[in-house]
Structure 1
Amino acid sequence: MQHIKDLLHSCSHLLITAGAGMSADSGLPTYRDKEGFWRQYPALKELNIDFEEITTPSTFLFTPSLAWAFYAHRYNLYARTLPHEGYSLLLEFAKSKKSFFVLTSNVDSHFLKAGFPSQNLYECHGNIEFLQCRCTHKLWRLKGKIAMNGFEVVELPKCPFCGSVARPNILMFNDWDFNDERECTQAERFHSWKKALNQDELLLILEFGAGLAIPTIRNMGEKLASAHPNAKLIRTNPQDAQIPKNLGYSLRMGALEGIKSLLDHP
């Protein structure tokens, strides 16, 4: 741990990467377990619909009311939940470095809500606060709460351009309709940041809550740690903490516990 803290102190550049475990410490569900998912959404259990089935674009074509019941509940839950204190601790630490960036697969907008600059953020799976439609490449932002009556949406979100039912700008399973305009802009900023890094200066990658079920974040962090000649990856995960020895170190902790331990915060 002392060696890890020495790396934290001496690094010039910081990449924070985060998966569902980062949100879990704010009280948000991760949807990793089928039974846990069905306890959260008993209406979907009655229909024998699991997370992978409800999170596909086809549900918005064939059962839009059901699709929006799930996503509206998520949207309202994310909107009323505050980011845990680990976000602000990381932001304060990140500002002390020459440069920093955030890479996350989370769609809850909590990094933005916690004050991280939008130009330093790459949400690789999208953001639930933005909507899209097939009729246009334009995205627009949801505002306020989506009214629900039980597990039903009072009024389905509609496209302001054509009037058809919209969908969240989130990358789903088997998703060929995802509007990547916003994601590509963020990706370009991220790649420009990586390209500008001084290869002789220490890059530290702090990963929180990125599991093996959907390993996007883990893979991207490991790839960058392997490609940069002076990088170390610190993986914090209570279950999937294993890491190639040549890439860095791991802590078998939850995200918030790991952040506090790393940054010496009680």
Structure 2
Amino acid sequence: MYSKTATGKSTKSSLAELRSALDQAEAVFVGAGAGLSASAGFAYSGPRFRRYFSDFEEKYGFHDMYTGGFTRFSSPEEQWAYWSRMIFLNRYCDPPKPVYQNLHKLVGDKDYFVLTTNVDHCFQKAGFDKARLFYTQGDYGLWQCSRPCHQKTYDNETAVRQMLEAQGFSIEKGGLGLLLGMSPKMTVPTELVPHCPKCGAPMSMNLRADHTFVEDEGWHAAAARYQDFVGRHQGSAILYLELGVGLNTPGIIKYNFWQQAYDNPKAVYACVNRGQAFAPRELKSRSICVDGDIHAVVEQLTKPAITGKNGWL
């Protein structure tokens, strides 16, 4: 097991070092976790949660969208009222801050690939090439058979919009609206509850939670492209750029990146995260850790700069 080395706050020197690593890299392997979308403004708690889910909070006592996703609701109609809001706000709305667009400016001209546990589609909305993305854990925009009786996923945008309108919401850019003084319904009509078109079982989210997760043709194609990228860059000067990855599922990105960087003497490992920026001692001489807001760091990296002996000027 690797031993972590804690780091201090973001400095001009660390930013300059990361900018230099980006410039010199033959390829960039981006690993993105929930912290990246949080830095873009996709907050799952606080005012954003209360604005759209105060009725569910009052009834069930949870205080964030993530916890709500594991709640046992009183009926399928209520379950899909909750999930339709959750899906729309985090999949079909654009995040308030342009961190994904700025990241694309940084790596778009490189030979890059993105491995992410995020399920909000933000990379594609920001212009990243779909063929360079691997969403390992699913997509808010897809449903699957809950059994599942077959390995296929289904787009849900039209159905989600119908559910929201049935609750009394109007679809607005960046969110949902209600007429003044109105409260949304907490259920959707029974006829809008989704069922599998093949076996009739309830549909579920295409999100990895257990063995029922459907890995469809698109998932396997992305997995193959990921393996191809890894194979092509063994031994090359590659930058492993980890953004907002926590410790919920560290084996997918964090430990994976550590091992690949350790095996390649030409590789550099960079970690940008608020409060969790660290690298293993074994990579200390080839690691860059920036403890700070990802949006601010990425924005700074896109600006013209001069580097000197004192770092970022």
**Does the 8 Å contact 2:41/2:95 carry over to 1?**
no
Question: Corresponding residue for 2:202?
Answer: 165
Which residue number in structure 1 is paired with residue 245 of structure 2? 210
Q: CA deviation at 1:38?
A: 8.2
Q: Closer, same or farther in 2 for the Cα pair 1:227/1:16, shift >3 Å?
A: same
In 2: Cα distance, 1:241 partner to 1:30 partner: 22
Corresponding residue number in structure 1 for 2:151? 137
- State the AA in 2 paired with 1:156: V
SS class of match (1:260)? helix
Distance (Å, rounded) in 2 between the aligned partners of 1:261 and 1:227 = 30
Change (3 A) 1:63 1:92: same
Distance 2:239 2:278 in 1: 18
Q: Deviations along 1:19-64, whole A, 9 cap, x unmatched?
A: 1111113321246x9xx978974525643568776545x959x953
1:231 to 2:270 alignment: no
- Retained in 1: the 8 A contact 2:52–2:85? no
Distance 1:63 1:147, change over 3 A: closer
User: Residue 186 of structure 1: CA displacement?
Assistant: 1.6
Q: Which has the higher contact order (CA 8 A, sep 6+)?
A: 2
SS in 2 for 1:243: strand
Unaligned runs of 5+ in 2: 1-13, 168-183, 306-313
For the aligned residues, what is the CA RMSD? Answer: 3.0
- Residue type of the alignment partner of 1:100: Y
Equivalent residue for 1:71, pick from 75, 80, 83? 83
Find the aligned partners of 1:229 and 1:136 in 2 and give their Cα distance.
44
CA distance in 2, matches of 1:28, 1:53: 15
Normalised TM-score (structure 2): 0.72
Q: Distance in 2 between the 1:254 and 1:207 partners?
A: 13
| Letter matched to residue 77 of structure 1 | L
Task: Assess if the C-alpha contact under 8 Å between 1:107 and 1:127 holds in 2.
Answer: yes
Following superposition, the deviation at residue 65 of structure 1 comes to 3.6
The equivalent of 2:300 in structure 1 is 261
Residue 147 of structure 1: SS of its match in structure 2? helix
**2-side partners of 1:41 and 1:217: how far apart?**
31
Please identify the structure whose Cα radius of gyration is greater.
Answer: 2
CA drift of 1:188 comes to 1.8
* Structure 2 CA distance for aligned equivalents of residues 122 and 240 of structure 1: 23
- Alignment counterpart, residue 85 of structure 1, candidates 98, 101, 104: 98
- The aligned residue for residue 176 of structure 2 is none
Name the counterpart of 1:122: 134
Match of 2:227 in 1: 191
* Deviation of the 1:74 alpha carbon: 1.5
1:250 aligned onto 2:278: no
* Inter-CA distance 15–162: structure 2 relative to 1 (3 Å threshold): same
2: CA distance, partners of 1:167 / 1:48: 23
Deviation, structure 1 residue 70: 3.2
Query: Quick one: distance in 2 between partners of 1:118 and 1:153?
Result: 33
**Partner residue of 2:188 out of 142, 153, 156:** 153
Structure 1 stretches of 5 or more lacking a match? none
Task: State the partner residue of 1:102.
Answer: 114
Contact 2:234 / 2:264 at 8 angstroms: preserved in 1? Answer: no
1:24 maps onto 2:27 in alignment: no
Sequence identity of aligned pairs in percent?
A: 25
Aligned residues: 258
Give the TM-score normalised by structure 1.
0.83
Structure 2 match to 1:178: 213
